[in-house]
Structure 1
Amino acid sequence: MLFFQTGIGVHIDNDYVSAVLLGTSFKGIIKKDCKVQYFAESTSFDEKLKIVSCMISDFVRNYGISSPYIHIGIPLGSVILRDITLPSAVKENLRTTVKYELEKYVPFSGEDLYFDIQNIAEDKEEKRIRVLLAAVKKDELKPYFDLIDLPGHGLASIDISLAAAVNTLAGLFPSLKCYAFVWLKNDRFEIGFVQDGFLNFSRVFKTSLKGPGLLSEIGRELETIQENLPDKSEGQKQNENLRVVLWGTLVDENLEEGVREKGFDLVNLNLYASPVSAQEFISPYGLALKGLKKVSNNFNFLPVNLRKRLSKAPLYAVITLCLLAVLSAMAWQGSLIVRTRSISSHLDKEIAILQKDAKQIDKIRKEYELLEKKIGYMKNGNPDKAFVLDIIKELSCIIPYGSWVSDLRFSDKGISIIGFAERASELIPLLDKSPYFEDVIFTSSITKTRAGKERFKIALKVLTAKNAE
């Protein structure tokens, strides 16, 4: 499906013209508008073309369409259909082959015809292909060429209205692969057969009959189709009633009931609940689809040099939007990476600062533990010895005024005291009398300072806590 394209399908019949405007978006194909205008059968073809031109111009003006793809449908009565079989070897050059043998299949000179072909089946075992050839006389098609310049937008194709109708039914009923159809009009009916989604054959019957006479004629043709059904058709089982699709402005309940009574399985279209909305738009809806999606039945009698070329602007627009989306995603991803790196760098700096703080905190913690250990030692010491605080208190009481201790050290062997006194020799007896100490001795000779104080160094042992008590 092509995005942001618009397709206009126009069906020109004897007594009315109908047109459908379709558009595409990311949501799919949508019907934007439709128009139908009836007129007398005596209306000239030029007047019909003016009506078509006005419809197209209204679509273009009302919806701001810059480059619509216009597809015109012609009645089956203007077309010659032939079902031909060819060797599979010519598949690659099928159109050229048919062109050279065109006069073999139609009773007119090839120079007087526009034609198109469609491959409808292939038998790989027999190495044969079935081709539906559609041809129209140039004199009958040329009046439609006035539409090329009249709307000012050009034509994309001229197709068979009936083939477009089959494409519409394929979209409405995907499971409907094999069926007969009757398109009833005011002075004729078109009848044919669809096999595996492809138009297999069709005929036009002009008739003035109404009521039972018309039903009898239609029933007879449907019975002929049923008797000549292909052996293998997708969706059609053996001994199953032929499914029939019946539509047209003259179809009524009596005709529908009569077709059922003849043993045919009539398909209920129920168009009012579908995008088509009415029987007049079955064909133009299928024509408008041609420029928007791939369809099974696709004929084009318009010469290649007169066809409007497919604009690549919507494709370029989609590609540009995709590129912008990719660039936006890349820019967003790039900004995300830059932002992530910036945040990561900031976090690294914060972590580095916190690591310094953590080291400082760890240092303080270790100092605290050391102090706590020292304080604990001072409070508890050796459980068998006197408390350190008690020893310090005892020393402060024993050492006389005018003497002081400058260095006090504890060890497993005892206590070492260094200090200054008026008479250091008097300290030994005082310390010996203490219940906390024993073996009090000088560990070095007494020296005298310039200030007249005696410097001493004493060693002593601490009695156990029990003995001190």
Structure 2
Amino acid sequence: MTGITDVKKITTAASDLGAKLYRIWGPIQRVLTFSPADEMIAPENNLSVSIDKGNISIAYGSRFLSKISIGGMKQYSFEEDIYPQPEDLLSSLSLAVNEFSISKADITLSIPKAWTIIRTVDFPSTVKENLPDVISYELDRLTPFSAAEAVFDFRVLEDNVDRVALLLMAAKTDQIRPYIDLLNENGFAVSKITVNLSAIGSLLRYMDKKSDALFVEIGIKGYEGGLFSNGLPAHNFSGTLTGLDEKTKIELICKDIKSLLNMSRNKGGTPRIFALFKDKSADLMGLLTSGLDMPVSVMGETDIRLNLPLPHMGMNAAAAGAVIQSLEPEANGLNLLKKGRHEKQKTPVALTILLMLTILSIWIFYLIAPLKIEEKRLQEISGQILLKKEEAKKVEALKKEAESISEKITAIDNFKHDRVMTMDVLRELTSILPKNAWLSRARIASSSVDIEGYAGKATELLPKLEASKYFRKVEFSSPIMRDTRMTAEKFNIKMEIEATKNNETENIKNEKK
């Protein structure tokens, strides 16, 4: 028993380690195999055309750095209850291209659900590796068309141990060919064909990626919808409403919806319900909500997280969904032109090789560079030591000379700070004397200053001079005289210069003596 327990522990540990390594390697592999043309960053434009009874809707969208924007949307009306003809499609597309000012864009054609066969089929899991060939071979059994006379595509819904469940969509080529041929003849190449219901599923998934969706489109004469799993219409329904009152209409619609709700809930799903009312009947909206007894998101009133050139209520869900399906890498949409054969994207290896060579070069440089650098530094240091011996002697001589010069500078600075400089005195006089006073003579001694000049009022000069930090004992050395010719008072003032710190110390010592 102990041996079995140890083996189980080792197996569990190895499994956990493998899972961790896979999680770590996943992002690394993504970087190493990343292509500049990756759909996540490569810009792309798309023009989607949705055909429906009585109208054609056209939407233009673009993708840049994974962000999708709708640049324009137009709807063209034709005879009611009749599908537009190829000529109508060509004229509508030409008008839209001119109005949107489009130079180049992939064109997606979204056809009505009534033109297609949509069904879920099961196959043994042994055919998983060759599904396109199997579908082509079995198509005449699964649908009224053979592979040669139909366009079709499929997606895997469930992949169990012994069975694989597929969603199959097919349409007769003869019904679509006139539209495609006429567009090709006039320079409009169709690169994708999808179905309106599938396009709406892509739009619903873009709106809410966390849960499944149950969609119903209600018109005056009928309704159709489906249960979408991962954006794919796994189950769909439809019915006619002609001649029924509103209560009976809602009962019929709610019956189909509740049937799919119960199916989804039995599998653990909680789908979100979306409804599109073509006639915008407020009564029908209220009756549907009360009949289901659960919230219903009404298309045109729900934020779809798209940059639209018009309010959401003016949006055609199928056309907008076809743009999303064509531009979003994770949309998982169907393209009937492919007939189930989708080319697997080749893993780019050029970038990986370049990165690995770069890493190898850096690693080699990382190993060798420090040794080379240190050897070079050692050689430089040895050479510098030889050169510095003579320079060291010169430095010693310069150091002694610098000390001598420093002593002289110190002596000069001491002399400067021990006495008040003449320039300082003149600068102080210039700043103190008012503008209407000027000097005719000035004598500056070591401890006193005598000035002679003229002023508008000489007595005002004494307080200003006394307030200076440079002067003390300011007084007139002679009486003030009025000079009528100069219209000013002539003055003679004498004053002592405030002593420096050294002089103050000496004066204090002398006073003590």
Task: Tell me which interval the TM-score lies in, with the shorter structure as reference length.
Answer: 0.5 to 0.7
Indicate whether 1:29 and 2:68 are aligned. Answer: yes
* CA distance in structure 2 between the aligned counterparts of 1:244 and 1:44, rounded to whole angstroms: 30
Aligned Cα root-mean-square deviation (Å): 4.1
Where 1:229 maps in the other structure, the secondary structure is: helix
The aligned counterpart of 2:284 is: 255
Contact 2:73 2:315 in 1 (8 A): no
* CA distance in structure 2 between the aligned counterparts of 1:6 and 1:144, rounded to whole angstroms: 21
Indicate whether 1:163 and 2:201 are aligned. Answer: no
Q: 1:292 to 1:149 in 2, by over 3 A?
A: same
Alignment of 1:168-179 (within 5 A): 168-175=203-210, 177-179=211-213
The residue type equivalent to 1:95 in the other structure is P
* CA distance in structure 1 between the aligned counterparts of 2:232 and 2:193, rounded to whole angstroms: 18
Q: 1:117 to 1:363 in 2, by over 3 A?
A: same
Alignment of 1:378-397 (within 5 A): none
Q: 1:12 to 1:361 in 2, by over 3 A?
A: same
The aligned counterpart of 1:131 is: 166
Where 2:264 maps in the other structure, the secondary structure is: coil
Note the C-alpha offset of 1:230. Answer: 6.1
Q: What does the per-residue CA deviation read over 1:201-229, in whole Å, with 9 as the maximum and x for residues that have no partner? A: 21332332452232122112112223433
Which structure has more helix as a fraction of its residues?
2
- After TM superposition, the structure 1 stretch with the greater mean CA deviation from structure 2, 356-365 or 193-202, is 356-365
The aligned counterpart of 2:249 is: 214
Q: What TM-score, normalized by structure 2, do the two folds share?
A: 0.56
Contact 2:86 2:179 in 1 (8 A): no
The aligned counterpart of 1:383 is: none
* CA distance in structure 1 between the aligned counterparts of 2:209 and 2:252, rounded to whole angstroms: 29
The aligned counterpart of 1:293 is: 328
Where 1:302 maps in the other structure, the secondary structure is: helix
* CA distance in structure 2 between the aligned counterparts of 1:291 and 1:298, rounded to whole angstroms: 8
Note the C-alpha offset of 1:198. Answer: 2.6
The residue type equivalent to 2:399 in the other structure is R
Contact 1:13 1:75 in 2 (8 A): yes
Indicate whether 1:180 and 2:220 are aligned. Answer: no
Where 2:132 maps in the other structure, the secondary structure is: helix
The correspondence for 1:101, drawn from 132, 138, 143, is: 138
Contact 1:18 1:280 in 2 (8 A): no
Where 1:265 maps in the other structure, the secondary structure is: coil
Where 1:167 maps in the other structure, the secondary structure is: helix
* CA distance in structure 2 between the aligned counterparts of 1:357 and 1:210, rounded to whole angstroms: 112
The residue type equivalent to 1:86 in the other structure is F
Where 1:299 maps in the other structure, the secondary structure is: coil
Alignment of 1:365-444 (within 5 A): 365=399
Contact 1:289 1:295 in 2 (8 A): no
Note the C-alpha offset of 1:249. Answer: 2.2
The residue type equivalent to 1:70 in the other structure is I
Q: What does the per-residue CA deviation read over 1:361-382, in whole Å, with 9 as the maximum and x for residues that have no partner? A: 3223358899xxxxxxxxxxxx
Indicate whether 1:145 and 2:175 are aligned. Answer: no
The aligned counterpart of 2:225 is: 191
Contact 1:195 1:233 in 2 (8 A): no
* CA distance in structure 2 between the aligned counterparts of 1:168 and 1:55, rounded to whole angstroms: 25
Note the C-alpha offset of 1:108. Answer: 4.1
Q: What does the per-residue CA deviation read over 1:298-348, in whole Å, with 9 as the maximum and x for residues that have no partner? A: 2222267xx9x9xxxxx9xxx9xxx9xx9xxxxxxxxxxxxxxxxxxxxx9
The aligned counterpart of 2:45 is: 6
The aligned counterpart of 1:54 is: 94
Q: 1:90 to 1:369 in 2, by over 3 A?
A: same
* CA distance in structure 2 between the aligned counterparts of 1:368 and 1:82, rounded to whole angstroms: 101
- After TM superposition, the structure 1 stretch with the greater mean CA deviation from structure 2, 84-93 or 359-368, is 359-368
Aligned residues: 329
Q: What does the per-residue CA deviation read over 1:346-369, in whole Å, with 9 as the maximum and x for residues that have no partner? A: xx9xxx9x9787752322335889
Indicate whether 1:264 and 2:298 are aligned. Answer: no
* CA distance in structure 2 between the aligned counterparts of 1:368 and 1:303, rounded to whole angstroms: 91
Where 2:233 maps in the other structure, the secondary structure is: strand
The correspondence for 2:274, drawn from 227, 245, 257, is: 245
The residue type equivalent to 2:282 in the other structure is E
Q: What does the per-residue CA deviation read over 1:155-211, in whole Å, with 9 as the maximum and x for residues that have no partner? A: 111110110111011112222x22321012343211211134432121332332452
The aligned counterpart of 1:202 is: 236
* CA distance in structure 2 between the aligned counterparts of 1:196 and 1:231, rounded to whole angstroms: 17
Note the C-alpha offset of 1:93. Answer: 0.6
Q: What TM-score, normalized by structure 1, do the two folds share?
A: 0.60
Note the C-alpha offset of 1:14. Answer: 1.0
Note the C-alpha offset of 1:107. Answer: 3.6
Contact 2:207 2:304 in 1 (8 A): no
Q: 1:122 to 1:303 in 2, by over 3 A?
A: closer
Indicate whether 1:92 and 2:92 are aligned. Answer: no
Q: 1:357 to 1:259 in 2, by over 3 A?
A: farther
The aligned counterpart of 1:112 is: 149
* CA distance in structure 1 between the aligned counterparts of 2:54 and 2:400, rounded to whole angstroms: 107
Note the C-alpha offset of 1:280. Answer: 3.8
* CA distance in structure 2 between the aligned counterparts of 1:272 and 1:51, rounded to whole angstroms: 31
- Which of the two has higher C-alpha Rg? 1
* CA distance in structure 2 between the aligned counterparts of 1:278 and 1:228, rounded to whole angstroms: 31
Where 1:77 maps in the other structure, the secondary structure is: helix
Q: 1:245 to 1:121 in 2, by over 3 A?
A: same
The residue type equivalent to 1:141 in the other structure is I
Q: Which runs of 5+ in 2 are unaligned?
A: 1-38, 359-379, 405-513
Where 2:203 maps in the other structure, the secondary structure is: helix
The aligned counterpart of 2:435 is: none
Contact 1:187 1:207 in 2 (8 A): yes
* CA distance in structure 2 between the aligned counterparts of 1:37 and 1:105, rounded to whole angstroms: 35
